[in-house]
Structure 1
Amino acid sequence: MTTNAPAPVRRGLRGLLPASPAQRILTFATFANSFGGGMFTTASALYFTRVVGLPAGQVAIGLFGGAMAGLMAGVLVGRLADQWGPKRVQVTVMLCGGAVISCFTLIGSFWSFFAVSLVAGMIIPADVASKAPLIRSVADGNPTVLIGYLRSVTNLALAFGSVVAGFAIQIDSRPAYLALVICRALAYVGCGLILLRLPGIAAAAGRRERGWAALRDRTYLSATLANAVLSLNYAVPGFLLPLWIVAQTSAPRWVVSAVLVLNMSFVVLLQVKVSRGVHDTRTAGQRMAWAGTAFAAGLTLMALADGPSRWTATGMLLGGMAVFALGELWFAAASTQYCFGLAPAHLQGQYAGVFGLGSGVVQAVAPAVLSLLPLGMGLPGWLVIGALLMSVGLGSRLLVAWAGRTRPTA
């Protein structure tokens, strides 16, 4: 037991967690939710195709429909979190997530799958938007560092969840896949129950707060647009690279897993450290510029892996991912500062919902864009994407400077 461990061990274990009790509760809740997400995300496509019996095309349609349905959910739920209190709304979202995901065990046709997917697609945007004011209320004035820490925890939990899902995939039976779906539902419920231990958090905005201030805030909308375009990077490790490595390079197939593990390791080990240097919108604009440049350099290296020998291609892919992952760290820290630093404290949920709306649209169309350009055109397509990300990253600095001249930072 931890209480009987030597004092240095106890101090080391405490050092892995935030000092604030509320932040520790949020950490445990995040780990539980992400662990379930890792299990479900890894095996869900196999469950829908091998157990339910849906063609891959129908699964893609259902998931796309859910993504579209979720775009406005974040905005609406974020506003509710401002007006009704983030703890209450976040717990409700988690419990609803458990109920909705459990319905996937009952589907038997495309239309039942599509109906559940529409509702399930709203859960993650609603989670993100309602969690933003919750994080702000317990972050002790520095949400960027706390979110960096939670992002590290999330990636670690996703990795553990993926390992558990791997055992079910190896068994490859209906009960094994159903167990993963049920565990995902229980993870949502468990997250909600853990969050109940948080102290009461008052609503930041009055219930009579009217209008959609975030949709009229040109500075915030401009930051949202820049963030949305740069969020295209999230589709590179999980979607673009596996297809590129297997179909276009001579690198061994295990490199697919190697680049994903490398990417995840950067986040787990370095995100908190990188986030500490981002404390205002000026530094956020600087990191966006660094991120866009790193994305362009990393994409170029990975694109050039088409043609060289087996081990040269492997080295270029791993080196390119290392540079790309560094850009992802800078981007995540800067994105958080934009989301929180430009938003009024009493409207954080509404603003976070709008912020997530932009990246949600881009991530929904990202597979089509990456299929058309890098996968369809080869090196020129990779260079187009890299140039786009670099130009938007560099332009973000001008955006932040303009924002500082036109209105004070919230």
Structure 2
Amino acid sequence: MRVLPQDRAQRTMAVATFVNTIGNGMYMTVMVMYFTRSVGLPAGQVGLGLTIAGLFGLVAGVPVGHLADRRGPREVSVVLGVSSGLVMVAFTMVHTFWQFLGVAVVENLVASSNRAARGAMIARFGGADKAVFRAYLRSVTNVGIALGGVAGGLGLVFDTRAWYVGLIGFNAASFLVSSVIALRVPRMAPLPVPPGANRWLALADRRFLACAALIGVMSMQFEVLLFAAPLWIAKLGHAPRWTVGAVLVINTVLVAGLQVRMSRGVDTIAKAVRATVRSGWVFAGAAVLFGSIGWVPAWAAVVLLLVAAAVHSIGEIVQQAGVFELGYELAADHAQGQYQGLLGMITGAAMSLAPGIYSLTCVDWAPAGWFAIGAVFAAAGCAMPLAVRIRPPALLAVEEEQGAAVAVTA
């Protein structure tokens, strides 16, 4: 994998992403401890506030994505990046739950909007291999977050308000710096809208909605290593707690090292569908391994856990390769921001449900719940070939015009 892409615009976006994700890694590492230990909010209030804010954030993707399509994704993304920096500064000034909730809602609205605008930028500057470039940015993101996480770990060690505020301030600065860098990306005029096109085309695209729903179900896999596995390890008690960190390290290393390589061959819708089907079965296999940890001795549990994490990570890489291709190729070129916003909204909604589902299936109902979750992943993957066969709006419009022409001729 090249350190930087050859294309200037892609290089600029990669550098901006790297700078920003270092700051994000710092914030993600200290976020909960800052709000509980420094601000003094109960952990339950922090969790409730983040959940409410996350749900509010889902509504912004489609309209802001549409704005990016019509006003230019670079301009919208830069404004949102600056706004994110200001929101981070506001987090350092909260003292009550309601202040925290208000800022968190704004932060999630801006973050969701920025993902939609950024998706439109990738679509415009990704070239012929948009999915590969998206995979490259994902690898860059993992490296940046990992580096930021190391720095954030220092904040946890010192455990002082000064450290927490300083790290959050660095994240705010990273948004501002990355926005300035993004200004070096060339401005591209919005693509013309085809005559008679539906303004909210993405919401009327049944094929994309069906595929996005399946992608949303499968995207719940992100919470397996972050939420389900740690809780399962804690419940069993015969695997050392350090294995939680090892699971995340394995995931980060594999994604950073293999995402681009394993995405290169997924360059058509048909290949993306096959990748999605394969990833569903891989997730199912990993779920079986996770569920079997309680049946083996402690030393074998550690080995089985690390193998399960590696298998799950491979499934994640394959699944994301399919998502990148489907997300862009099933979308109308002139409405990429709107489509990416819709996909983000659906996957975000599904992921917000994941912790509650996993706390039941992968902890309370384990090990059977693990096997059930694996079956759901496999079924969702196998359903993707059916979803992509649904006729898109463009084809339906052509058929309607042809039918009208036949009627007039008759």
Q: TM-score, normalised by structure 2?
A: 0.93
Q: Match for residue 72 of structure 1?
A: 59
C-alpha distance in 1 between matches for 2:348 and 2:120: 19
Q: Match for residue 210 of structure 2?
A: 222
Look up the SS of the partner of 1:58 in the other structure: helix
* Match runs of 1:336-375 below 5 Å: 336-375=324-363
Q: Which amino acid aligns with 1:262?
A: I
1:236-290 C-alpha deviation (Å, 9 max, x unpaired)? 1111111111221411111111111001111000000111011111111100001
Q: Match for residue 79 of structure 2?
A: 92
Q: CA deviation at 1:221?
A: 0.5
C-alpha distance in 1 between matches for 2:224 and 2:138: 18
Q: Which amino acid aligns with 2:57?
A: G
Q: Match for residue 131 of structure 2?
A: 144
Q: 1:82 to 1:405 in 2, by over 3 A?
A: closer
Give the conservation status (yes or no) of the 8 Å contact 1:85–1:204.
no
Q: Match for residue 184 of structure 1?
A: 171
C-alpha distance in 1 between matches for 2:116 and 2:151: 28
Q: Match for residue 279 of structure 2?
A: 291
Residue 325 (structure 1) aligned to one of 310, 313, 318: 313
Aligned length, in residue pairs? 395
C-alpha distance in 1 between matches for 2:152 and 2:194: 43
Between stretches 304-313 and 157-166, larger displacement belongs to 304-313
Give the conservation status (yes or no) of the 8 Å contact 2:56–2:108.
yes
Q: Which amino acid aligns with 1:119?
A: V
Q: Match for residue 168 of structure 1?
A: 155
Residue 116 (structure 1) aligned to one of 92, 100, 103: 103
C-alpha distance in 1 between matches for 2:354 and 2:393: 33
1:372-398 C-alpha deviation (Å, 9 max, x unpaired)? 111110111111111001011011123
Q: Match for residue 372 of structure 2?
A: 384
Q: Which amino acid aligns with 2:333?
A: A
Q: CA deviation at 1:206?
A: 5.5
Q: 1:402 to 1:76 in 2, by over 3 A?
A: closer
Q: Match for residue 201 of structure 2?
A: 213
Q: 1:305 to 1:105 in 2, by over 3 A?
A: same
Q: Match for residue 126 of structure 1?
A: 113
Give the conservation status (yes or no) of the 8 Å contact 1:101–1:184.
yes
- Is the aligned partner of 1:396 residue 2:384? yes
Q: CA deviation at 1:132?
A: 1.2
Q: 1:205 to 1:120 in 2, by over 3 A?
A: farther
Q: CA deviation at 1:407?
A: 4.0
Q: CA deviation at 1:336?
A: 1.0
C-alpha distance in 1 between matches for 2:186 and 2:393: 38
Q: Match for residue 46 of structure 1?
A: 33
Q: CA deviation at 1:210?
A: 5.8
Q: 1:205 to 1:371 in 2, by over 3 A?
A: farther
C-alpha distance in 2 between matches for 1:157 and 1:299: 28
Give the conservation status (yes or no) of the 8 Å contact 1:343–1:351.
yes
C-alpha distance in 2 between matches for 1:252 and 1:407: 56
Q: Which amino acid aligns with 2:172?
A: A
Q: Match for residue 8 of structure 1?
A: none
Between stretches 229-238 and 393-402, larger displacement belongs to 393-402
Q: Match for residue 399 of structure 2?
A: none
C-alpha distance in 1 between matches for 2:327 and 2:46: 32
Between stretches 297-306 and 209-218, larger displacement belongs to 209-218
- Structure 2 unaligned residues grouped into runs of 5+: 397-410
- Is the aligned partner of 1:17 residue 2:4? yes
Q: CA deviation at 1:189?
A: 0.8
C-alpha distance in 2 between matches for 1:247 and 1:157: 32
Residue 106 (structure 1) aligned to one of 80, 93, 102: 93
C-alpha distance in 2 between matches for 1:320 and 1:406: 42
Q: Match for residue 271 of structure 1?
A: 259
Look up the SS of the partner of 2:76 in the other structure: helix
Q: Which amino acid aligns with 2:78?
A: V
C-alpha distance in 1 between matches for 2:394 and 2:261: 31
Look up the SS of the partner of 2:293 in the other structure: coil
Q: CA deviation at 1:307?
A: 3.3
Give the conservation status (yes or no) of the 8 Å contact 1:205–1:347.
no
Give the conservation status (yes or no) of the 8 Å contact 1:282–1:401.
no
Q: Match for residue 20 of structure 2?
A: 33
C-alpha distance in 2 between matches for 1:136 and 1:236: 29
Give the conservation status (yes or no) of the 8 Å contact 1:249–1:305.
no
- Structure 1 unaligned residues grouped into runs of 5+: 1-11
Q: Which amino acid aligns with 2:88?
A: I
Q: Which amino acid aligns with 1:76?
A: P
Q: Match for residue 195 of structure 1?
A: 182
Q: Match for residue 231 of structure 2?
A: 243
C-alpha distance in 2 between matches for 1:113 and 1:22: 37
Look up the SS of the partner of 2:127 in the other structure: coil
Residue 308 (structure 1) aligned to one of 287, 293, 296: 296
Q: CA deviation at 1:203?
A: 1.7
Q: CA deviation at 1:362?
A: 0.6
Q: Which amino acid aligns with 1:287?
A: A
